[in-house]
Amino acid sequence: MGPLKTSEMPMSKSNEVLIVCEKPTACKKIAKILDENNKPKSLKKDKVTFYKAFRNGLELNIVSAIGHLYTVVKKDKSKTWDYPFWDVKWVPSHEVNKADKSKVEFIEFIKELGEKSDYCINACDYDLEGATIGYNVIKYCFGQNHVDKAARMKFSNLTEQEIINSYDNLLNSLNFNLIDAGLTRHEVDYLYGINLSTALTASTRTSDVVKFKLLSTGRVQGPTLKFILEKEKKIRNFVPTPYWKILGTIDIKGKEFEIEYEKARIDNLQEAKDVLKACRKKDGIVENIESRTMTRQPPIPFNLSSLQSEAYNHFGYTPSRTLNIAEKLYLSAHISYPRTGNQIIPDEMDVKAIITQLATLKDYKEPAEYLLKTGKIIPTKGKKTDPAHPPILPTTETPTSELKTVGEQKLYDLIVTRFLALFADPASIESYKIILGVNGNKFFLRSKKIIVPGWMDIYHYSRTKEVELPDIKIGQAFSLNLKREDKFNQGPSKFNQNSLRKKMEVNEIGTKATRASIIDKLYKRGYIIGKSIDLMDLGLSVTEVLDKNCPEITSVEMTRNLERRMDEIEEAKITREDVLLDVRGHLDPILQRMKEREEEIGNELGESVKRTWNKQRIIGKCISCDDGQLVVIRSLKTKKRFIGCTNYNICNTCLKTREECTCKCEACGQSKGTCECKEKVFVPKCDTSFPIAQKGTLTPIPGKTCAFCESEFGINYPMVQIWLPGARRPFNSCMNWVNHPKKPKKAKKVKETEINLEEEIKSGEEEIKKMKDQKKSKKIKKNKKTVKKIG
């Protein structure tokens, strides 16, 4: 695909070109850059905003596809629970998902614009998704003729220079290998996901316990859940064994320092006691001082994986949150494209221009100017490459005002300081080990001192903690304060979102762009919960059922091989049809096996679903009565849900349920359980209740209570996790949220201006004099009119 000049485009009399972008923000920015006067016309039809820009005699219609306008569905109209099926087609997404109803207007309007345009350009992100989105819009809105002559803009950031260069040097055709790989990935995921999910859900319909429960799995979800299950088993089967440590402190010139015994752990209690006994009331004599100098090389450039890890380590951001923030910074043109695996900055990239621009920012002026003065602008390199995009770097379009959110500020600082550190000198650290002898036993006192800070002065997130000691000489004696600590060896720790993402990456399942969303999906499905990930009963049951009946679905090897096969499509080694045939040959016997065991699988899943529902319903112990549990209840009258006590349905007098209550009704004299009087008053044993969100999945958080309510009211109200429909992530809420103070609205920022007090007073006096003169003038005019009238 060679470069294509816009002057070489085959045009008719209209001279109109349609440019399809992926997101509205990118669309607006590209339109402004491409317009000759940087003032494109913003036009709106119904809910669709598009832009008209003029450049080199061409009229550019620039429109956003707002993500995927087309999706995959079954080709035939077979019954919902019929499986397996293999024929699929692409249709407008609003035909499948009601939430995409607004996309109808976009499709219709893009078709209108296409009829007027001679030429189409795909300006979506240069990756699998961007290739797929742009191709589908051009193909299904305008037809194959437009696809054959369409061009491609390739850019890695949204700066003016990059976009103009991309437009002036268009790729003369779409990247069909990339398109085939993108289409195949969607179709394979659909075939796996829908067929397996249909099989699981259909099996619950045969259960005596639960008649229906929508369940899902997929080619990446299955192995990911298996990782969590295997970790859970290791944790459960781990048997802790005791060991002992000798810890101590030493006082040097009034300052206390920690020392450690020569053995990191002692497996025999008597040995630990003997060490303490031998060292009691004895001084430690400095026998030797060992020192060594270590050199720490600067870090390598960020790719998405390393950025997600650093953001989790330093800010606690989940992988999906990091990606979302990075996406906003990219759309603001402050950083390059974030979904990259590259760790090597291309030689042709003008990094000096980026550093020069960063020197204009107050926070980065000093390190940037220092790097420019050295004249050695050579970055470090990693091992991973990505031909489509460079590593994640700041751009020459630096923020002109404060970034909108704290998340954006933190992530931008992380990216900028990391980038500047790539060009800095190595750091030099001197470490010391002072060996103290006490009655035949040895203790170590360690210290670290940064001799040359180098890059660590810039990228402060990785700065080594220093422990500086006063001057110590061999032969000096110091009194020791020693103690024995009883310990148990720690078992494997649970996954968090970042460590699970790393596990997926190491095992080559999912892509750098999809791993975070797959983990989010497992939370939404109610399969996992918590920051330290716990496998819910439902997740456990689905994984065990799949592992028992079709172990290939939870196999890492199967998913990894499929990922590699799809990568080979992009490299033009195999065709899309080859992969789809492989998928059918692999998946069909598995689904037939599941169909044969449908009832058995349904009963296993049914029990698990029931246990999960019961667990999710119970929030915790009632804070008002002794024997009640707080549960999610749905009102028979209003049909709304709320959190209430299990004794809410028990009569306070006869201690029977509402339906069985034997107390006499005040209106008719019959028992309240059988009478239908509207006037009857039912007094519950406990009427404790709390309002909750009416939509979304509500999950109790075991052992977690509200710190605010504990300090304010002295009551440990349980916390719940709520995941609202369409939300990107869940949020934690106290069930007593109605009694929490409302968050104050953020005050609007007022621009600060310098005020000259003398000038302001003088100006004020002049204004007052002017007003008095005007008033006087009005009085004179009024008097003249009166005199004239009298005369």
Beta strands 618-621 and 629-634 are antiparallel
Tokens of 247: 């810890």
Strands (DSSP E) found in 476-564? 477-488, 528-529, 534-535
Residue showing tokens 């990922």: 563
Q: Are the beta carbons of 469 and 432 closer than 8 angstroms? A: yes
CA distance linking residue 352 with residue 367, whole number of Å: 13
The rounded distance, in Å, linking the Cα atoms of 619 and 766 is 69
Residue given tokens 């306008």 in the structure block: 69
Q: What is the pLDDT of residue 764?
A: 58
Q: What are phi and psi of 445, to 5 degrees?
A: -115, 120
Q: Where are the beta strands (DSSP E) in 457-572?
A: 477-488, 528-529, 534-535
CA distances from 268 to 262, 271, 502 (A): 15, 5, 37
Residue 219 CA to residue 582 CA, distance in Å, equals 14
Catalytic machinery residues: 337
Task: Express each pLDDT in 536-557 by its tens digit.
Answer: 888 888 898 888 888 988 999 9
Residue 505, amino acid: E
How far from 499 is each of 305, 420, 534, 535, CA to CA, in Å? 11, 27, 13, 15
Predicted confidence at residue 667, as pLDDT, reads 75
pLDDT recorded at residue 11: 53
> Which of 412, 474, 465 is CA-nearest to residue 437?
474
In terms of residues, how long is the chain? 791
pLDDT digits (tens, 9 = 90+) for 417-463: 999 999 999 999 999 999 999 999 999 999 999 999 999 999 999 88
DSSP label of 670: S
What local confidence, expressed as pLDDT, does residue 5 receive? 60
**Gap between the Cα atoms of 438 and 477, Å rounded:** 10
SS3 content of the chain, % helix, strand, coil (to 5): 40, 20, 35
Which residues does the chain have with pLDDT short of 70? 1-14, 78-80, 208-213, 728, 744-791
pLDDT of residue 782: 45
Q: Is 330 helix (H, G, I), strand (E, B) or coil?
A: helix
At 774 the pLDDT is: 62
Conformation bin of residue 316: beta by default, left when phi > 0, alpha when psi is -120 to 50: left
In 3D space, the residue among 147, 244, 128, 262 whose CA is nearest the CA of residue 186 turns out to be 128
Tokens of 98: 């009601």
Distance CA 463, CA 763 (A): 54
Q: CB–CB of 560/507 below 8 Å?
A: yes
**Residue type for 159, please?**
T
